[in-house]
Amino acid sequence: MVAGLIDRGLSKCIDVGLLLVMCGIVGYYGNDEAAEKIYRGLKRLEYRGYDSAGIATAGNPSIKVEKGEGTIDEVSEAEIDGTSGIGHTRWATHGGVNDRNAHPHTDCGEEIAVVHNGIINNYEGLKEKLKNRGHSFSSETDTEVVPHMLEEKMEEGLTLKEALMDVEERLEGSYAIAAVLKTGEMVAVKQDSPLAIGVNGSEKFLASDVTPFLEHTSKAIFLEDGDVVEFNGKLEIYNQREPVEREIQEVDWDAEQASKEGHDHFMQKEIKEQPKTVKKASFQDKSDLEEAVKMLDKADEIYLTGCGTASFAASLGAKYLEEAGYNVRTEQAHELEYSADSISEDDLVIAVSQSGETADLLSLLDKSPAPTLAVVNAVGSTLARQSDHTLYINAGPEIGVASTKAFTSQLGVLKLLQYASEGEIEEGRQKLLETAEAVEKVLENNKDTIEAISDYFTGKEHAYFIGRDKGYEMADEAALKLKELSYIHAEAFPGGEFKHGTLALVEEGTPVVAFLKDNGYDEIVSNAAEARSRGADLIGVGKNEISSFEYFIEIPDKGLEEIVEVAPFQMIAYLTSVELGHNPDKPRNLAKSVTVK
């Protein structure tokens, strides 16, 4: 990997669609050296991508760029000066993982540097026209068309802000773009990709989310689609070429929450935080819950949806609300979108998300005529802003790519919503407080068993997880955690479906994990026994240990079972990943939030 300092003078010049991932943007405009603050900010955003990274600063009269393949630590090898600049951590989509495809990208005169999160759908046509007009390209990215288009507009006499406004009108797709000029001016535009501004007196920050600037300020502006922002002595925001005012919001997170706090990995810290975050999830404002219940009561049909881990929370939430007597459907957002025309304005969509920026979920909501109730973690996210009502899960920043505390907090809020619909908010709150205590106990009491199961999994290539009723979603989530962190092939099935084909794959020593819930208990024990008779090693989780299981995690008979059951398997997946030499915070081929379809 080559990552050097390029002092941009007057020489010649030089992405998350198909892989369904995202990149991270950081910008700084102020009086201090920009590079160090951008570097620290990018470290906070590495969960959004870590194939390559780079920083560009305006060191009037030139742009200075440092970039290359690898993490920001691997790339940041030299000091570059300047009091304004931009940075980027990339997840490859357009173009391979190499130095030349790393951001920032520059124009032919190397006077403008650009970073970009998202996808420019029409970049190929734009690139061909630019080439025909004499522009040279040295990357395979969609991003590189932007600095060349800005260059042309500025040659016509436009300012950087005016140039960006013109260029943005010609772009198709979803994007957050930031650009810095060699003289220090900085601009940005947001369209269907998150972008926030941190305000700290005379210094301003720009980032894909709030975590990069929390150590400097808790005051944030969340840009809206079509917003163009200019940093040039003062902060100005425009939409449709007209000045607009955007509210400065106080973010109730702090920098310490977004640090490892002495743990080896963010995921380890976030698993252990769950006794606290489950408690925080219980502290929903009564009026917010009552407003949500009104939405439930008015709806003809209720759709619960999400993607990935959030979809499992949505599926469990559907079962909670069915128990309360509601007419409920659940489906993952990317599939529900295909039948969005069956959703009416008299229905309700409950959208579950950690980031509030998941492209498939937002795309579904764009097509749905029904009101939206958001269950989300990220304050100021697109989902939170566009929903009719929001219940925040209050889990704080979740940095590890694999969701842990956000999942259990989502479950807590959805269960509390069930209690609220039954007029038992305080009973529900007490249930979650008991759950918080039970999570701590189940991890502590089963520590040796959790470590033994982790050691066992390191020698396996396949694993199967089964459950019935609410145990099926737990099997889904436990299997997902194991495979996304350890790269062990893991699948989940309803207990009754396991024998319809998959049982043929069970042989001597195949691990089969069974979630033993009260509902369907005898049947799931029978399913596990059938697997054992074919040679399977059984791993169980439930209230009462079964001696025929090789390993068994016993959970206390208190609190919300689903939260208590999943925590040990989060820890098992984490420990297995570490023991196999993987980085559990940054599993291969994955990123924290899917911001492009």
The encoded tokens of residue 442 equal 């189940």
| Omega within 30 of 0 (cis) for the link into 397 | no
Mean pLDDT of 350-371: 94
> Rounded to two decimals, what is the model's pTM?
0.73
Residues 453 and 546 in one domain: yes
Which residue in the list 23, 37, 127, 182 is annotated as catalytic? Answer: 23
Q: How far apart are CA 285 and CA 147, in angstroms?
A: 47
* Residue 15 banded pLDDT, cuts 50, 70, 90: very low
Whether 154 maps to a domain, the answer reads yes
For the CA atoms of 408, 357, 54, 235, what is the dihedral angle to 10 degrees?
-120
Question: Does 23 qualify as catalytic in the annotation?
Answer: yes
299 and 417 Cβ atoms separated by less than 8 Å: no
Residue with tokens 């420019």: 120
Whether 596 maps to a domain, the answer reads no
pLDDT of residue 19: 31
Residues 471 and 438 in one domain: no
Give the DSSP H or E segment for 229. strand 227-231
435 and 565 Cβ atoms separated by less than 8 Å: no
DSSP state of 557: S
Residues 332 and 424 in one domain: yes
Residues 268 and 380 in one domain: yes
Q: pLDDT by residue (tens digit) across 266-306?
A: 999 999 999 999 998 998 989 999 999 999 999 999 999 99
Is the pLDDT assigned to residue 264 strictly greater than 70? yes
pLDDT of residue 21: 39
Q: Which of 394, 421, 442 is the endpoint of a domain?
A: 442
Among residues 366, 374, 305, the alpha carbon closest in space to that of 334 is found at 305
Is the pLDDT assigned to residue 548 strictly greater than 80? yes
DSSP 266-325: HHHHHHHTHHHHHHHHH---HHHHHHHHHHHHH-SSEEEE-STHHHHHHHHHHHHHHHTT
Q: Where are the beta strands (DSSP E) in 377-425?
A: 389-392
| Strand 462-467 with 489-494, pairing | parallel
Q: pLDDT by residue (tens digit) across 96-149?
A: 778 888 899 999 999 999 999 888 989 999 999 999 999 999 898 999 999 999
Residues 50 and 192 in one domain: yes
Supply the CATH number for residue 341's domain.
3.40.50.10490
Q: What's the distance, CA 251 to chain centroid?
A: 18
Residues 309 and 189 in one domain: no
Comparing 104-113, 224-233, 528-537, which segment has the lowest mean pLDDT? Answer: 528-537
Domain membership of residue 319 as a residue range:
260-442
* Residue 17 banded pLDDT, cuts 50, 70, 90: very low
Residues 396 and 482 in one domain: no
Residues 121 and 151 in one domain: yes
DSSP state of 515: E
Residues 450 and 468 in one domain: yes
Mean pLDDT of 255-265: 74
Mean pLDDT of 259-265: 80
| Omega within 30 of 0 (cis) for the link into 584 | no
Q: How far apart are CA 544 and CA 522, in angstroms?
A: 13
* Residue 9 banded pLDDT, cuts 50, 70, 90: very low
| Strand 348-353 with 219-222, pairing | unpaired
Q: pLDDT by residue (tens digit) across 412-444?
A: 999 999 999 999 999 999 999 999 999 999 999
pLDDT of residue 153: 97
Residues 264 and 234 in one domain: no
For the CA atoms of 70, 76, 82, 84, what is the dihedral angle to 10 degrees?
40
Question: Does 37 qualify as catalytic in the annotation?
Answer: no
pLDDT of residue 1: 26
Is the pLDDT assigned to residue 41 strictly greater than 50? yes
Whether 595 maps to a domain, the answer reads no
| Strand 302-305 with 328-330, pairing | parallel
Which residue in the list 319, 431, 517, 592 is annotated as catalytic? Answer: 592
The encoded tokens of residue 252 equal 């109730």
Q: For the purposes of burial, counting CB atoms within 10 Å of the CB of 557, is it exposed (0-12), middle (13-18) or buried (19 or more)?
A: exposed
Q: What are the angstrom distances between the C-alpha of 49 and each of 19, 25, 458?
A: 12, 10, 26
Mean pLDDT of 476-484: 97
Mean pLDDT of 362-384: 93
Supply the CATH number for residue 233's domain.
3.60.20.10
108 and 62 Cβ atoms separated by less than 8 Å: no
Residue 72 backbone dihedrals phi, psi, to 5 degrees: -65, -35
Whether 589 maps to a domain, the answer reads no
Q: pLDDT by residue (tens digit) across 19-30?
A: 333 688 999 999
Residues 342 and 435 in one domain: yes
Residue 53 backbone dihedrals phi, psi, to 5 degrees: -155, 165
Cβ-Cβ contacts under 8 Å for 32 (sequence gap 6 or more)? 83, 203
Whether 281 maps to a domain, the answer reads yes
Residue with tokens 């917010």: 288
Mean pLDDT of 4-17: 29
pLDDT of residue 50: 67
| Strand 372-376 with 389-392, pairing | parallel
478 and 539 Cβ atoms separated by less than 8 Å: no
Q: How far apart are CA 431 and CA 277, in angstroms?
A: 14
Whether 593 maps to a domain, the answer reads no
Residues 133 and 204 in one domain: yes
Whether 594 maps to a domain, the answer reads no
Q: How far apart are CA 489 and CA 497, in angstroms?
A: 18
Work out the mean pLDDT of the chain and round it to a whole number. Answer: 90
113 and 66 Cβ atoms separated by less than 8 Å: no
How many domains would you assign to the chain? 3
CA angle 359, 93, 152 (to 5 degrees): 95
Whether 591 maps to a domain, the answer reads no
The encoded tokens of residue 206 equal 């720009």
Comparing 59-63, 407-411, 455-459, which segment has the lowest mean pLDDT? Answer: 59-63
Q: Which of 415, 442, 469 is the endpoint of a domain?
A: 442
Q: Which residues of 58-73 are buried (b: 16+ CB within 10 A; e: fewer)?
A: bbeebbbbbbbbbbbe
Q: How far apart are CA 216 and CA 261, in angstroms?
A: 18
- Position with higher pLDDT, 196 vs 501: 196
Q: Is 250 left (phi over 0), alpha (psi -120 to 50) or beta?
A: beta
**C-alpha radius of gyration, the chain, whole number:** 25
Q: How far apart are CA 305 and CA 350, in angstroms?
A: 6
Q: Which of 379, 414, 442 is the endpoint of a domain?
A: 442
CA angle 588, 592, 597 (to 5 degrees): 95
Residue 103 backbone dihedrals phi, psi, to 5 degrees: -90, 155
Range ranked top by mean pLDDT from 7-11, 229-233, 369-373: 369-373
